[in-house]
Structure 1
Amino acid sequence: MKKVILVLISILLLILDNSVMPFLSIYGAFPSLLFTFAVLYSIINGAEDALFIGVVSGLLQDIFFSGGMGINALTNMVICLIAAYVGNGVFKKKKLIPVSTVFGATIVKHIAVFCIFYFLHYKVRLNNILIVAIYNSVIAFIAYRFVLMLSNTENVSSKWRFK
């Protein structure tokens, strides 16, 4: 049931990403609610859930991404697994690390997609990457508490530590 709810939330966020978010663009850059949710969810819930949400969110993004089916699935999966690793060692009720992770993950994802398409001889632009990263971080700051409540995890660490 948990995975069905995750898929439904992901579909809703994808619809919002492609219908509402372009109207909220700044210099042509707009946030990805789905990617931000996937990274935050991965930080909170660990590697197994990160793998699932990474692949699901990536495949949903690939539906609207012409030129390379599976590229978002691959990059989201890897980034969500890294986010889960980061989440293993931090106090999850604080927002600093999750918001910073979303910022870094956004930049890494855009660079990874750019590199993959570069080797496939497709033209992709990297402009506005910092605006998108900042925008995703602002969304993460606002949404983190809701994702934490959705996750309802009992294994929240009580110490700041990195493994």
Structure 2
Amino acid sequence: MVCCSRPLLYLLLTLTAWKKSLLWLNFHRKKKMKVKRWFLLRNKNHFTLYLSIIISTIIIMVIQGSLMTFFIVSGVIPDLLLIMVVCLAFIWGDKRAIMIGIIAGFIQDVFWGPAIGFFCLAKMIAALLAGLASHEIYRDQIIGPMITVFFVTFVHEIIVFSLTGFFWGNTFSFYFALEKFFLPRAVYHFILTMFLYPLFYRAEQHNFFYPSFK
């Protein structure tokens, strides 16, 4: 009886181990499929986000190069692209801020920049500062983005002015540029942000830029 039960016991142990192996393989196969599906969805949403920023940048540049020429005040034209970059960076935070600045700045360099990297570097730093500021300021209150755009405009203009002067030289002094260009543009941006930031904020609330990306 013992001799007959021993093979049966081995068989039961083998079947149990085999069943556990199948369950383990099935579990990890499902887990792997879920991870793969998550990465595919994430990559798709990243692509949608990048494409939205590129399209928005091109539209803003077209508006700035055409319609905004009729709104020049004291020889100063606003940088709508900078306002867009700062507003989106303020909404999305510093994790995506650098990406926003690089994409928008690179496209601006291609079409309007004196060399590749000028606006890209300036927009990247401006976006990063706005993203960092968003941790300390409420995003649903308009005064925060307005003040952020005001001060970040100075940083952006100083970077572009410094790079231009380093490579080609400036025809006017820094203090003249500060008084005649930087300050008026910062005030101009401060006012425009009052109307533009709510549009970007509502677009983000309705997932306009990234339909399912969180």
TM-score after normalising by structure 2: 0.67
Task: State the secondary structure of the residue aligned to 1:88.
Answer: coil
The CA distance in 1 between the partners of 2:183 and 2:196, in whole Å, is 20
Pair member with larger Rg:
2
Determine which structure has the larger helix proportion and give its number: 2
Q: Which residue of 2 aligns with 1:34?
A: 81
Task: Kindly tell me the number of residue pairs found equivalent between the two proteins.
Answer: 154
Work out whether 1:71 is the aligned partner of 2:124. no
Identify the match of residue 84 of structure 1 among 131, 152, 162.
131
- Picking from 125, 134, 143, the partner of 2:187 is 134
Q: Which residue of the partner structure matches residue 43 of structure 1?
A: 90
Q: Does 1:152 align with 2:205?
A: yes
Consecutive unaligned residues of structure 2, counting only runs of 5 or more, are 1-47, 208-214
Could you tell me which residue of structure 2 aligns to residue 114 of structure 1?
161
Q: Distance in 1 between matches of 2:87 and 2:192?
A: 11
d(CA) in 2 for partners of 1:66 and 1:151? 29
Identity of aligned residues (%): 24
Q: Which of 34, 41, 65 does residue 18 from structure 1 map onto?
A: 65
State the superposition RMSD in angstroms.
1.8
Note closer, same or farther for the CA distance 1:124–1:34 as it changes in structure 2 (3 Å cut). Answer: farther
In structure 1, give the amino acid aligned to 2:74: Y
Q: Are the aligned partners of 1:114 and 1:124 in contact in 2 as well (CA < 8 Å)? A: no
- C-alpha distance in structure 2 between counterparts of 1:43 and 1:103, whole Å: 13
Residues 119-128 or 48-57, more deviating: 119-128
Mapping of residues 96-111 of structure 1, within 5 Å: 96-111=143-158
* Partner residue in 2 for 1:157: none
Structure with the greater relative contact order (CA < 8 A, sep ≥ 6): 1 or 2?
Answer: 1
- 2:53, 2:104 within 8 Å by CA — same for their partners in 1? no
Amino acid of the structure 1 residue aligned with 2:55: L
1:52 to 99, 123, 135: 99
- In 1, Cα distance between equivalents of 2:168 and 2:190: 31
Residue 114 of structure 2 aligns to which amino acid in structure 1?
Answer: G
Shift in alpha-carbon separation, 1:42–1:66, aligned structure 2, 3 A: closer
Which whole-Å CA distance do the structure 2 matches of 1:64 and 1:134 have between them? 26
Q: CA deviation at 1:89?
A: 2.1
List alignment gaps of at least 5 residues for structure 1: 155-163
* Pairwise CA distance, 1:56: 1.4
1: distance between equivalents of 2:140 and 2:151? 19
